[in-house]
Structure 1
Amino acid sequence: MTDALSRLLETRDWLMADGATGTNLFNMGLSSGDAPELWNADEPGKIKQLYSLAVDAGSDIFLTNSFGGNASRLKLHDAQSRVRELNRLAAEIGRDVADAAGRPVIVAGSIGPTGDIFAPMGTLTHELAVEMFHEQAEGLKEGGADVLWAETISAPEEYKAAAEACHLAGMPWCGTMSFDTAGRTMMGLTSTAMVAMVEKLAHPPMAFGANCGVGAADLLRTILGFAATGTERPIIAKGNAGIPKYVDGHIHYDGTPELMGAYAVMARDCGATIIGGCCGTMPDHLRAMRAALENTPRGERPTLEEISAKLGGFSSEDDGLGEGGAKRERRGRRRS
């Protein structure tokens, strides 16, 4: 393969992704309830700063400000007619930042969930989901994204729709799901079920994994579940910076840079190839993660006990896999 992410993966045994989009934009003045994607047109300087913060902190990959850039979500802001424009701008700003970095940096076009529920419980159909994701994908492609990146998906049907949309756009893609309900996605998918689904797709992702969820410990338990299947597809880990807490009217994540550095190393040793942060992950966290990854030798695959000792306890005793699950993974070095 000749795409930029494949070339980078051929030369490195780990890559660092970016951190939070929303947390950083709120610090720049975005108000709760506003559509961040509108800033691609209205505040391009701040979006350039968002991307630059990640690149300057050592990220090899950053996601565009287009997470909610589909017609269903933008309709809430009467901007459903601007899908292609806002996604194109998100990628164009990113392309400029990446091209000026002086080293290979990947622009990943973020595609988040539609926010709708599939029939028969809801109104979303496969065809409609593909149409919405495809419209978004074409805008990101036009703006110069290297790869498309579906994230925080809960429903397998929506993941499959994203895969088809990326294929229609003729773009390589990566895709992560959020395992936030006792080791499962909100719609009940386990880590092993996700691996099985990914391998059956006609247009599978270059890399797959987990993002967001609860805390970093929970996310690594899911990564162990992926690795236990023996998959050879690159695994993505993008965990939150600690646990969210409501403080003085705002959501605050309690993870320190030191904790996120430890998380990054453990994510690599659990089997992840692409490692980043999600909610609450700021430039200071990313710098600590990059330093830890560069300066800490590979170790054995950590046990659940070692993960919880370093990163805090799990939000549930169940990893979604029943008796054994990720615990069945024998200790040993990650396969090359």
Structure 2
Amino acid sequence: MSKYRSSLPQLGDRLFLTDSGLETTLIFHDGIALPCFAAFLLLDEPAGHERLRAYYARHALMARVHRAGLVLEAPTWRANPDWGERLGYDATRLRETSLAAIRMLVEIRDLYESTATPVVISGNIGPRGDGYAPSTRMSPSQARDYHLPQVRAFAGSAADMVSAFTINYIDEAIGIVMAARDCGLPVVISFTVETDGTLPSGDSLQEAIEATDTATAGYPAYYMINCAHPDHFMGALSGEVWCRRIRGLRANASRRSHAELDDSQDLDIGDPRELAQLHGRLKGMMPWLTVVGGCCGTDHRHVESIYRAMAAGTDERGPHEGRHHRFHQGDRRPAG
């Protein structure tokens, strides 16, 4: 049974941690190959399953130490039909994978949850195509039908909500919300933006949020921004009414554009201290922000530094200096 489906605690005032750059951590820190950037593949093997557990447990322990809330995102960003077909997963196997991911997160919650650290479990959904380019476009109704099997699987699990990450055009966002509403699940939409603060489709964040809310009668619990550096979107956050719908951030460590990241041969971890400072500024601009984590290039140490800056209003020195590691996103190409 789900625990928080009827009342998400991150809609209050306290800060909630979430995780960091799962795929980049696995590839570049752990040396694990992830075809098509698909972390869910690790659920099928004991060693991979244990590595995922360790990754989530590290973030859960950090949340408990800081007496912060925690949102656990399932490693299922790629577990949709097009990417599944590439990887040899049919509909039945994809459903079993989504359910297995949630069971793993429930085990983590059972170990680390406390009164001071409520743990929310989220079924994570990714775009049908490439997260960096709206190359596989659908109408809202087509997007609803496409994503409905994965949403339905989460609805039949202990997941408290679903979150759609790296969404890059409006119609897919609307379709995912429609699917979640049909299944009675709270849903969060996380848009990604280019260096100018607009979605890869060319729409502004304001247009994307307002259009999604209008088409779905404001059904999303809240919105997030992920897979972009704060410098890419801070200038776009003007207008308090629609900005108040944004409650979460999972930023990239790097200032590189999506195109530059796709072509890059190294992992740019940016300036972690500055990343924390920027999040502190964002919390000052938007005090209603309650969910914070990281995306590409970040790890648990970035997230802890960001959390401290947001929680205490202080600048924290990040875990690293400079740039290192080899980064290649050749598998991160559109499906189809």
Tell me, yes or no, whether TM beats 0.5: yes
Equivalents in 1 of 2:54, 2:265: separation in Å?
Answer: 23
Amino acid at match of 1:99: D
Change (3 A) 1:259 1:23: same
Amino acid at match of 1:172: P
TM-score for the superposition, normalised by structure 2: 0.77
Give CA-to-partner distance per residue, 1:92-121, whole Å, 9 cap, x none: 11111122113311112110100179xxx8
Q: Which residue of 1 aligns with 2:105?
A: 94
Q: How far 1:10 sits from its partner (Å)? A: 5.4
Change (3 A) 1:122 1:198: closer
Alignment of 1:58-207 (within 5 A): 58=63, 60-81=70-91, 82-103=93-114, 104-115=118-129, 124-180=138-194, 182-200=196-214, 201-202=216-217, 204-207=219-222
Equivalents in 1 of 2:146, 2:306: separation in Å?
Answer: 35
Q: Is the 8 A contact 2:206 2:242 kept in 1?
A: no
Q: How far 1:139 sits from its partner (Å)? A: 2.1
Equivalents in 2 of 1:14, 1:163: separation in Å?
Answer: 24
Equivalents in 2 of 1:77, 1:185: separation in Å?
Answer: 28
From 238, 244, 265, the counterpart of 2:250? 238
Equivalents in 2 of 1:144, 1:172: separation in Å?
Answer: 13
Change (3 A) 1:45 1:114: same
Change (3 A) 1:79 1:106: same
SS in 1 for 2:292: strand
1:37 pairs with 2:37: no
Higher relative contact order (CA 8 A, sep 6+): 2
Equivalents in 1 of 2:284, 2:125: separation in Å?
Answer: 28
Q: How far 1:236 sits from its partner (Å)? A: 2.0
Question: Which residues of structure 1 form unaligned runs of 5+?
Answer: 299-336
Q: How far 1:124 sits from its partner (Å)? A: 4.0
Give CA-to-partner distance per residue, 1:63-109, whole Å, 9 cap, x none: 11000111111111121332211111111111111221133111121
Q: Which residue of 2 aligns with 1:303?
A: none
1:279 pairs with 2:279: no
Q: Which residue of 2 aligns with 1:262?
A: 277
Equivalent residues, number: 290
Give CA-to-partner distance per residue, 1:198-218, whole Å, 9 cap, x none: 3312362111031113x2211
Change (3 A) 1:5 1:275: farther
Amino acid at match of 2:42: W
SS in 1 for 2:302: helix
Aligned residues: percent identity?
19
Question: Which residues of structure 2 form unaligned runs of 5+?
Answer: 64-68, 316-336
Amino acid at match of 2:75: N
SS in 2 for 1:114: coil
> Which has the larger displacement, 279-288 or 51-60?
51-60
Q: How far 1:41 sits from its partner (Å)? A: 2.2
Q: Is the 8 A contact 1:268 1:275 kept in 2?
A: no
